[in-house]
Amino acid sequence: MKKHNFSAGPGILPREVIEQASVAVQNYNNTGLSILEISHRSKEFVAVMEQARQLALELTGLEGKGYRALFMHGGASLQFVMVAQNLLERKAAYINTGTWASKAIQEARFFGEVLEVASSKDQDFTYIPKEFEIPTGISYLHCTSNNTIYGTQFKKFPESSAPLVCDMSSDIFSRDIDYSQFDLIYAGAQKNMGPAGTTLVLVKESVLGKVSRAIPNYMNYRQHIEKESMFNTPSVFAVYCSMLTLEWIKARGGVSEIEKENSKKASLLYKAIDSNNLFVSNITNIEDRSMMNVTFRLQDDSHKEMFEKLVAQAGINGLNGHRSVGGYRASIYNALPFESVQLLVDTMQQLKNKV
Ligand code: PMP
């Protein structure tokens, strides 16, 4: 039986993508070869890479606006380093909204002065800071659009005259925002785009080439742009699956349609949490709640065993909160069907009926 997958990442992929990918593992496009054994320089794979890069720009509305799409290795974690190495001249500003933002800050410190201009650490990262000053003389301002661990999400981004950089690992392609407000966006594939093993970077070319340090080739965005995202052997299968997911998003009407579905799923779940007195949301500021990672806990831990038994019986997977937070986290990414959220809500109600 296929489980209802609420895992935070690697997370659920569309069923159609998994079916297409499994056919391609046997025989890719009737080439008589598996996608796992074709050359990354073959015309078949070059076409996949081009289609994936093109769709990433098209779905974010960045086509023709001076941006390049790259599929890279090393996860979002390598981007914590590359962003600073390629863009930070003297100082940069960071908004600290959680563990991932803190890690980005740590890496950036290797390259210059890092100003933590706002932080929600004082309240265990349960809100999005809003009132803060953005200093002048910075190379860029960095934010994390969705905080996967805590369940908070920026709904409106800071207005900055400096370039804006965003870690969008857990909510890229989930909502119709103005992606062109960012000069560089990065996102690990394994939440809303594909399997683990590739990372998307959308970079405005005009933001590059402004630092005085020498950058090793592999770490240099310019090199990856020139080599059309084939500086070295890319993660062929992960890029292929990402392409399939991007095609799936497009076929559903693009990110604006996906956003409508995501919003229905999130409202259903938050309503269920707020109206069931056995549960409490981790995020009390309603406007800061994530549409992707819904974090909540039981009011009374004595119900834990019974709830978790019901969850397991329902075939629900991946509901545990991050080990640093505890409680529960329902990751309701693009590919998670509405019916799975309904099932979780029904399971919460079942608990209420029992106690
Ligand atoms: N940023 C965010 C917002 C994340 O959720 C994650 C992964 N959970 C990361 C960065 C780190 O990603 P990776 O494992 O791809 O380096």
Torsion angle, CA of 76/80/81/85, rounded to 10 degrees?
Answer: 120
Give the domain-ending residue among 219, 251, 283. 251
Q: State whether 19 and 167 are in the same domain.
A: yes
Q: State whether 141 and 290 are in the same domain.
A: no
- Rounded Cα distance between 57 and 65, Å, is 9
Structurally, the chain folds into a number of domains equal to 2
Instruction: Give residue 188 CA to ligand 1 midpoint distance, Å.
Output: 6
The answer to whether ipTM exceeds 0.90 is yes
Under a CB-based contact definition with an 8 Å cutoff, are residues 315 and 1 in contact?
Answer: yes
Q: Which CATH number is 168's domain given?
A: 3.40.640.10
User: Is 243 a member of any domain?
Assistant: yes
pLDDT at 1: 79
User: Is 332 a member of any domain?
Assistant: yes
Give the domain-ending residue among 251, 267, 287. 251
Residue 325: C-alpha distances to residues 98, 161, 186, 269 (Å): 11, 35, 25, 19
pLDDT at 168: 98
Q: State whether 155 and 57 are in the same domain.
A: yes
Q: Which residues have any ligand 1 atom within 6 Å of their CB?
A: 9, 75-77, 100, 144, 148, 167, 169-170, 188
Q: State the residue range of the domain holding 211.
A: 15-251
Closest-CA residue, ligand 1 atom 15, reads: 75
Residues 220-252 as b/e (b if ≥16 CB within 10 A, e otherwise) read bbeebbeeebebeebbbbbbbbbbbbbbbbeee
Give the domain-ending residue among 190, 219, 251. 251
From 100, 183, 248, 288, active-site residue: 100
Q: State whether 223 and 335 are in the same domain.
A: no
Point out the residues of the chain with pLDDT beneath 50: none
Q: Which CATH number is 276's domain given?
A: 3.90.1150.10
Q: State whether 200 and 299 are in the same domain.
A: no
pLDDT at 227: 98
Q: Model confidence over 14-72: pLDDT tens digits?
A: 999 999 999 999 999 999 999 999 999 999 999 999 999 999 999 999 999 999 999 99
Q: Is there a catalytic annotation at residue 346?
A: no
pTM of the model: 0.98
Q: Average pLDDT, whole number, for the chain?
A: 97
Instruction: Give residue 162 CA to ligand 1 midpoint distance, Å.
Output: 24
